């Protein structure tokens, strides 16, 4: 485990960290107020003053893309964080205790896995109404079973090992065993699953916003910015390309980071 | 090695994704263009395909039966039905199915029909048929029944004698509303398809999808040049632009303003005209915040109409003052209202006790924040633009405007307390007479008085207008009524539509009309 991190891992970690930092400190990085409308600047092409141009309402696209990172990246991280923690807790409990609870919970998760993800999320989001937090809830509701499946199967295999038996003999209660012995041993696969999921979740969140079920105007969010700009693809392409490229770059960075983390933790 | 493999895999995946999309596109356009071309080549038939964003159930145009909600619009636009009289470019009445009318006394009207007008099924359109049509209309169409207040109709050959219950100075104008399309009621309205006297006959109708038309071989008023026409409902503006670009459609109604530059060249022609379709905000007097006079006035001061029209609509519109545009004697600058002045709005709210005490940029009063629930809908592309622009200018003044731009707007505004401002589009002078707007929106029993607005003066003036037959006097009353609703800030008129249709340059005879009613005529042709 104590291998030296590869150069790739360092590079992607730095890139991902800078994306996250940029979204946290977005307020300081924006050259203009991303919500300030100035109709006299409407549809300005990219220039030195506005490097990504301006949109219909004369708002600076670069500032909107940066502030949009907050909605897009931070919401995605919150989403992945929530489903990782909740999914893992459910999975570990099912795997460790088994029995009826396991049976019932796993059938419920089968139920969620049986639906096409985004379609189900659409239904949930439509039920809850628009808004980025509702979109996060909708995606969380459909995405947790994956984590509980991984956690459960890992827990089952760890549970069968002799050191767990030893811990039991030593008088540890289930809580202690789970926290001290099981969680550290299943941490790797869970982390890899969640790292690889960031990109997908970012796309799905942007997808919901694109369909009008995520961020509501005037909140800048990449998916909704693309949706608003799609009629300008032929006339003012920067309005749709800027958030599009931002989504592309962030998804690629988080996916490659996930890949290298997997290679690092699981070098086979 | 692994890295190279991964990059190759990545490139292949991208290529695959792209090919999936191109595959789709090619397939669609191939099959469609193939079908249009075969249509064109068979017997040298002329076919015309029209893309429209508004022909759908959401817009209360589920079919073409004029006796059903607003479906008459589709009936008259696509040349299926015709009314007794039609409006000319100055919105004055001209003969159409009828030859002339005479106002015998306050309650009696005599209408003489033209000789030789027939329905598309060959049946003569005589006074008896028109009587049956109007009787069916007032029996099933609530709005028409209220507008027309018909007591009795007598038919004698080609002469129709209509008696009204109360004096109806605008009876003939109302009969020229799209609901007044003369249809053969004996032929029924199965699947929403009706038989009219117009140049086209409907053969197939799928709500919110398409309408197939063929030439009316029996047309009474000249030879119809197009053999077959199709109206496609394309609610998405981008799809509409692409459809016109790749030739799936020959002309389009409702193109997104942002796409206009694509068609400003030799290959396409624009036909446009000012209309009385107003984009307006209606205040909900059931909301305690809106009841505050200062809040309504501040809203009126806080909307940048000029920027909305000149920038967001690319100049394809006219800045609104009152309920009617410039081209009417009783419209345009004859009334006065607030213009965009954020500073005045701020001090007004300040005086009224709305102050920002917690420094979040939003004003409060008695523990209530100045939150405005703004309801609108997306099928008129101007409305989302207006909403987002108003949200920004009003925020600057201290309003927290929460937008809900949804196709489900009808359900929301039907409730009394779920909204504050409703932004919508409405043809305020569709029948060439100002009373139309007031009867639909401003009176205690108006069907679209959604916000419960009431003013005694308006009620009295409406009563006066109902008994005034002279059109100049009616105009004067309309000016007073507009000024009253503007003084109350019960409505904010933001802009009027410059209605535009964009057609391929080989299309002739497609001319935009100020009423926004007449689109397909016998003169419509494709070279």
To the nearest whole Å, the CA of B262 is away from the closest chain A CA by 7
What pLDDT shows up at residue B437? Answer: 92
User: Which chain A residues have any C-beta within 8 angstroms of a chain B C-beta?
Assistant: 35-37, 39-40, 42, 56-58, 216-218, 230-236, 259
B405 vs B443, residue with greater confidence: B443
To the nearest whole Å, the CA of A234 is away from the closest chain B CA by 8
From B238, B311, B403, residue closest to A216, measured CB to CB: B403
Q: What is the mean pLDDT of chain A?
A: 89
Q: At residue A26, does pLDDT exceed 70?
A: yes
Helix A75-97, helix A99-114: angle, nearest 10: 140
Which range has the worst mean pLDDT, A163-167, B84-88, B98-102, B492-496?
A163-167
Neighbours of B293 (CB within 10 A): 12
Same topology, domains B41-267+505-527 and B274-499? Answer is no
Cα gap A183→A85, rounded to integer Å:
11
Q: At residue A62, does pLDDT exceed 90?
A: yes
Q: What is the mean pLDDT of chain B?
A: 89
Contacts of B392 in chain A (CB under 8 A): 35-37, 57, 218
Cα gap A267→A257, rounded to integer Å:
15
pLDDT band, residue A121 (cuts 50/70/90): confident
What pLDDT shows up at residue B150? Answer: 95
User: B261 at the A interface (CB within 8 A)?
Assistant: yes
Give the residue on A whose Cα is nearest the Cα of B400: A218
pLDDT for A171-191, tens place per residue?
888 888 888 888 988 888 899
Quick one: average pLDDT of B184-201? 94
pLDDT band, residue A268 (cuts 50/70/90): low
Report the residue of A127, A227, A234, A248 to disrupt the B interface, i.e. the one with the largest count of B CBs within 10 Å: A234
Q: CA–CA distance from B93 to each of B50, B411, B432, B459 (Å)? A: 28, 36, 8, 28
pLDDT for B118-165, tens place per residue?
999 999 999 999 999 999 999 999 889 988 999 999 999 999 999 999
What pLDDT shows up at residue B59? Answer: 83
pLDDT for A188-226, tens place per residue?
889 988 998 999 999 999 988 888 888 877 788 999 899
Give the residue on B whose Cα is nearest the Cα of A231: B238
Which tokens in the block code for residue B30? Answer: 């191939």
Neighbours of B82 (CB within 10 A): 27
Contacts of B395 in chain A (CB under 8 A): 35
Domain ranges of chain B: 41-267+505-527, 274-499
Quick one: average pLDDT of A41-52? 90
Q: CA–CA distance from B22 to each of B8, B27, B31, B169, B245 (Å)? A: 21, 8, 14, 60, 17
How many contiguous H segments (helices) and E segments (strands) does chain B have? 16, 21
Quick one: average pLDDT of B372-384? 89
Q: At residue B17, does pLDDT exceed 70?
A: no
Close Cβ partners of B319 (under 8 Å, ≥ 6 residues apart): B305, B306, B309, B494, B495
pLDDT for A224-243, tens place per residue?
899 888 888 888 999 999 99
3-state secondary structure of B242: helix
Identify any residues that bridge with B500 across adjacent strands, giving them in sequence order.
Answer: B272
User: B304 at the A interface (CB within 8 A)?
Assistant: yes
- Sort A235 into a burial class: Cβ within 10 Å, 0-12 / 13-18 / 19+: middle
Cα gap A183→A191, rounded to integer Å:
11
Contact indicator for B491, B67 with CB cutoff of 8 Å: no
User: B33 at the A interface (CB within 8 A)?
Assistant: no
What pLDDT shows up at residue B8? Answer: 67
3-state secondary structure of A128: helix
Q: At residue A266, does pLDDT exceed 80?
A: no
B469 vs B74, residue with greater confidence: B74
Q: What is the DSSP letter of B355?
A: B
What pLDDT shows up at residue B23? Answer: 43
What pLDDT shows up at residue B374? Answer: 95
Give the residue on A whose Cα is nearest the Cα of B237: A231
- CB contact under 8 Å between A39 and B389, yes or no, is yes
Query: What's the CA dihedral at B202, B204, B209, B211 to 10 degrees?
Result: -20
The structural architecture, per CATH, of the domain B274-499 is Roll (3.10)
CATH class of the domain whose range is B41-267+505-527 = alpha beta
What pLDDT shows up at residue B494? Answer: 95
Q: At residue B11, does pLDDT exceed 90?
A: no
Could you give the domains of chain A? 61-265 (1.10.3720.10)
Report the residue of B18, B238, B311 to disrupt the A interface, i.e. the one with the largest count of A CBs within 10 Å: B311
Contact indicator for B71, B251 with CB cutoff of 8 Å: no
Contacts of B258 in chain A (CB under 8 A): 56, 231-232, 235-236
To the nearest whole Å, the CA of B304 is away from the closest chain A CA by 10
To the nearest whole Å, the CA of A229 is away from the closest chain B CA by 10
- CB contact under 8 Å between A218 and B389, yes or no, is no
Give the residue on B whose Cα is nearest the Cα of A56: B312
3-state secondary structure of A171: coil
Angle (CA) A68 A74 A75, round 5°: 90
Q: At residue B251, does pLDDT exceed 70?
A: yes
> If phi over 0 gives left and psi between -120 and 50 gives alpha, with beta otherwise, what is residue B398?
left
φ, ψ (nearest 5 deg) of residue A176: -65, -40
What pLDDT shows up at residue B227? Answer: 95
Quick one: average pLDDT of A65-93? 92
What pLDDT shows up at residue B496? Answer: 94
Burial code (b: 16+ CB inside 10 Å, e: under 16) for B328-366 equals: bebbbebbebbebbeebbbebbeebebebeeeeebbbbe
């Amino acid at each position: 485990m104590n291998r030296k991190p590869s150069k790739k891992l360092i590079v992607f970690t730095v890139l991902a960290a800078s994306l996250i930092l940029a979204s946290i400190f977005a307020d300081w990085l924006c050259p203009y107020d991303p919500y300030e409308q100035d109709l006299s600047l409407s549809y300005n092409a990219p220039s030195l003053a506005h490097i990504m141009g301006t949109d219909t309402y004369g708002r600076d696209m670069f500032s909107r893309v940066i502030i949009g990172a907050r909605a897009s990246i931070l919401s995605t991280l919150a989403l992945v964080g929530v489903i990782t923690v909740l999914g893992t807790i459910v999975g570990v409990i099912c795997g460790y205790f088994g029995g009826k609870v396991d049976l019932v919970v796993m059938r419920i998760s089968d139920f969620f896995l049986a639906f096409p993800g985004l379609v189900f999320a659409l239904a949930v989001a439509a039920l809850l109404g628009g808004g980025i937090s509702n979109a996060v809830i909708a995606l969380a509701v459909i995405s947790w079973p994956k984590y509980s499946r991984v956690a459960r199967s890992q827990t089952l295999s760890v549970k069968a090992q002799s050191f767990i038996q030893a811990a039991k003999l030593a008088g540890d209660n289930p809580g202690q065993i789970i926290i001290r012995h099981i969680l550290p041993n299943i941490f790797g696969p869970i982390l890899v699953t969640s790292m690889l999921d960031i990109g997908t979740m970012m796309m799905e969140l942007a997808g919901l916003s694109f369909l009008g079920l995520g961020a509501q105007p005037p909140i800048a969010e990449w998916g909704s910015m693309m949706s608003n700009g799609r009629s300008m693809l032929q006339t003012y392409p920067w309005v749709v390309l800027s958030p599009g490229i931002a989504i592309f770059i962030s998804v690629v960075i988080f996916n490659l980071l996930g890949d290298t983390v997997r290679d690092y933790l699981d070098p086979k | 090695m692994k890295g190279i493999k991964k990059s190759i895999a990545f490139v292949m995946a991208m290529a695959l994704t792209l090919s999936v999309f191109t595959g789709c596109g090619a397939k669609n356009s191939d099959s469609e263009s193939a079908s249009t071309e075969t249509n064109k080549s068979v017997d040298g038939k002329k076919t015309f395909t029209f893309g429209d964003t508004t022909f759908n159930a959401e817009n209360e145009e589920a079919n073409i039966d004029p006796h059903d909600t607003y479906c008459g619009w589709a009936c008259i636009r696509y040349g299926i039905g015709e009314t007794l009289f039609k409006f000319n470019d100055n919105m004055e009445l001209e003969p159409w199915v009828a030859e002339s009318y005479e106002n015998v006394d306050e309650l009696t009207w005599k209408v003489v029909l033209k000789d030789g007008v027939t329905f598309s099924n060959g049946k003569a359109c005589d006074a008896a048929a028109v009587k049956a049509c109007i009787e069916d209309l007032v029996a099933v169409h609530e709005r028409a029944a209220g507008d027309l207040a018909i007591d009795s109709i007598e038919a004698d050959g080609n002469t129709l004698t209509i008696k009204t219950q109360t004096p109806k100075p605008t009876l003939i104008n109302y009969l020229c509303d799209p609901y007044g399309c003369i249809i053969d009621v004996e032929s029924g309205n199965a699947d929403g398809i009706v038989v009219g006297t117009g140049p086209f006959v409907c053969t197939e109708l799928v709500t919110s999808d398409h309408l197939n038309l063929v030439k009316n071989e029996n047309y009474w008023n000249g030879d119809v040049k197009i053999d077959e026409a199709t109206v496609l409902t394309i609610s998405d503006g981008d799809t509409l632009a692409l459809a016109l670009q790749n030739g799936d459609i020959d002309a389009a109604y409702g193109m997104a303003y942002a796409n206009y530059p694509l068609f400003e060249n030799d290959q396409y022609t624009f036909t446009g005209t000012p209309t009385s379709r107003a984009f307006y905000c209606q205040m909900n007097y059931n909301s305690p915040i809106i009841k505050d006079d200062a809040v309504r006035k501040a809203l009126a001061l806080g909307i940048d109409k000029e920027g909305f029209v000149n920038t967001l609509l690319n100049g394809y519109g006219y800045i609104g003052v009152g309920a009617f545009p410039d081209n009417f004697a009783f419209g345009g600058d004859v009334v006065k209202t607030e213009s965009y002045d954020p500073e005045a709005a701020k001090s007004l709210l300040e005086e009224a006790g709305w102050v920002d005490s917690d420094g979040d940029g939003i004003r409060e009063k008695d523990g209530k924040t100045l939150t405005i629930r703004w309801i609108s809908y997306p099928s008129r592309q101007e409305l989302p633009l207006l909403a987002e622009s108003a949200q920004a200018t009003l925020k600057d003044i201290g309003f927290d405007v929460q937008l809900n731009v949804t196709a489900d707007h009808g359900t929301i505004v039907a409730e009394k307390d779920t909204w504050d401002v409703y932004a919508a589009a409405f043809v305020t002078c569709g029948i060439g007479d100002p009373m139309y707007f007031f009867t639909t929106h401003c009176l205690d029993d108006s069907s679209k008085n959604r916000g419960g607005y009431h003013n005694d003066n308006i009620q009295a003036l409406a009563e006066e207008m109902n008994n005034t037959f002279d059109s100049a006097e009616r105009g004067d009353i309309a000016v007073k009524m507009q000024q009253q609703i503007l003084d109350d800030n019960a409505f904010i008129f933001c802009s009027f539509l410059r209605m535009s249709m964009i057609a391929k340059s080989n299309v002739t005879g497609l001319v935009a009309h100020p009423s926004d009613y007449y689109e397909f005529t016998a003169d419509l042709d494709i070279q």
